[in-house]
Amino acid sequence: MTEPRNTIEIERLSKRYRLGRTAAMSGTFGDLFRDAVRRLGRRGVAPKSSTPNFWALRDVSFDVERGQVVGLIGHNGAGKSTLLKILSRITDPTEGEARIHGRVGSLLEVGTGFHPELSGHENIYLNGSILGMTRREIRARYDEIVEFSGVSAFLDTPVKRYSSGMYVRLAFAVAAHLEPEILMVDEVLAVGDAAFQKKCLGKMKDVAGAGRTVLFVSHNMASIEALCNKTVLLDKGEIVMIGEPGPVIDRYLRPPDQQPQSLDDREEREGDGTIRFTDLTIRAVDSKVPQTIRCGDDVQAVVSYRSTLPQVRNLSVSLVFYTASGHCMLVLNNQIVDCELTDLPVEGQLICRLPRMPLTPGPYYVNVYGTVNGVIADWVQRATYITVEAGDYFGTGRLPPNSHGGVLAAHQWAKAA
């Protein structure tokens, strides 16, 4: 009997939650029990006429072929984690069907899959048993799991005493080494350090190279681009685009067609708020159209701000340009060019001039970052977007390629004497 070509087949999958229910209410036995208790407590009380619903997923359909590495991307609340929970059989769909051909290993969130009272050693065997493996099969991979995790000194300690980083190290090692046909990994790898993240990405490549399937949720577009051969973009529970990573990532990072949200209205930001950036506009000096710039254009960035301080001193502002896949390409900062921003009014504008835009053609997003006396005051990621178009940077009539990431620089060539 031949194996099916697809390891995962998703047809019109939808998940509905009733607003007002806790996040844990996901259709398990415990949820049903709590529902029954609540209904008993409400006897004699007239039911509300209607309960608002929230669709975490809506009519999602796609297939995953055997051996594919599929990235799931989208902003917070897009439905990525809900989809993985359904595929991992943690929660049931409201509508639709998901057919899975193969044994699933999941690492969805810190705390999932391990029994907190058991030691690391005991949890390795517990997880292997859940995956249907014999003790002999688990024992054959035990040393490799322990070595990969780097927590050998704590294997006899209950995992409830592990740090989040230790927990994720062991959980990933178990999920990846006990040979699931399908490996599902959520954003939890962000808990680990950079070296461990790199190690995990290498292991997922090995898993895919062995003909197994990987579903990977991440906000790190560089990792998605490096690891995945197919990417699914979700937004508000619906599929926006499916395809190769490059075009899908570009679509994800591209500003929406409608008027973008005002920078002053953005809630996703960090800092103590002594400075708040209220607007960022980047345009070519000789153009009235913002955000679209040619290679070699003289560029002007205008940063508007508001402060809670009576007078702003020692302000450091950075504009950081990233490619669509998340690679940092250019940093503009007032202090590194020996420009002190001090004794500023409580509200105003700052102007940064960049002679001859050096970035190669492609889409870029820009983070704005400010500190006052070395303390983070405001930090807004993806504060704005620009598109760099081909331009005659070198004055030769030859245009740079659409490389989606690169920096142009004046240079000379000569034949060696």
Please say if the pLDDT value at position 413 is more than 70. Answer: yes
Most confident of 20-24, 290-294, 333-337, 411-415: 333-337
Q: Please list the alpha-helical segments (H only) found in 42-163.
A: 80-87, 120-130, 135-149
Where residue 190 falls among pLDDT bands split at 50, 70, 90?
Answer: low
DSSP state of 131: T
Average pLDDT for 295-302: 93
The lowest-confidence range among 94-103, 216-225, 304-313, 387-396 is 216-225
Residues 259 and 99: beta-carbon distance below 8 Å: no
Q: Which of 57-61, 97-101, 224-228 has the lowest mean pLDDT?
A: 224-228
Tell whether the model's pLDDT for residue 257 goes beyond 80: no
Using pLDDT thresholds of 50, 70 and 90, give the confidence band for residue 38: low
Residue 26 has pLDDT above 60, yes or no: no
Which position has the higher pLDDT, 221 or 191? 221
Residue 239 has pLDDT above 50, yes or no: yes
Segments in 308-363 forming alpha helices (H)? none
With H, G, I as helix, E, B as strand and everything else as coil, classify residue 258: coil
Instruction: Note if the pTM is more than 0.85.
Output: no
Report the pLDDT value the prediction gives residue 363, as an integer from 0 to 100.
82
Question: Domain map of the chain by residue range?
Answer: 6-26+52-253, 263-389
| Structural contact between residues 245 and 228, judged by C-beta atoms closer than 8 angstroms | yes
Q: Residue 98 pLDDT > 80, yes or no?
A: yes
User: In whole numbers, what is the pLDDT of the chain averaged over residues?
Assistant: 83
CATH architecture, range 6-26+52-253: 3-Layer(aba) Sandwich (3.40)
Cα distance between residue 263 and residue 260, in whole Å: 9
Q: What is the predicted pLDDT for the residue at 361?
A: 85
Q: Please list, residue by residue across 368-388, b when 16 or more beta carbons sit within 10 angstroms of its beta carbon and e when fewer do.
A: bbbbbeeebbbbbbbbbbbeb
pLDDT of residue 259: 46
Q: What is the fold, at CATH topology level, of the domain defined by 263-389? A: Coagulation Factor XIII; Chain A, domain 1 (2.70.50)
Mean pLDDT throughout 325-354? 91
State mean pLDDT over 405-414: 86
Contacts of 22 (CB under 8 A, 6+ apart): none
Per-residue confidence band for 25, with pLDDT thresholds at 50, 70 and 90: very low
User: 45 falls in which pLDDT band (50, 70, 90)?
Assistant: low
Predicted confidence at residue 112, as pLDDT, reads 61
351 DSSP assignment: E
At residue 111, the pLDDT reads: 56
Over residues 376-391, the pLDDT tens digits come to: 999 998 898 888 888 8
The pLDDT of 93-99, averaged and rounded, is: 93
Would you say 385 and 276 are in contact if contact means Cβ atoms under 8 Å apart? no
pLDDT attached to residue 276: 95
pLDDT at 113 over 80: no
- In sequence order, the β-bridge partners of residue 63 are 9
What percent of the chain has a predicted confidence (pLDDT) above 70? 84
Q: Given a cut of 50, is residue 24 above it in pLDDT?
A: no
The strand pair at 182-185 and 213-217 is best described as parallel
Structure confidence at residue 194 (pLDDT): 65
Cα dihedral angle (272, 273, 278, 283), rounded to 10 degrees? -30
Residue 179: pLDDT above 90?
no
More confident residue, 21 or 166: 166
Q: Is the pLDDT of residue 136 over 80?
A: yes
Q: Could you tell me where the DSSP H helices lie in 16-134?
A: 29-41, 80-87, 120-130
- What per-residue confidence (pLDDT) applies to 246? 79
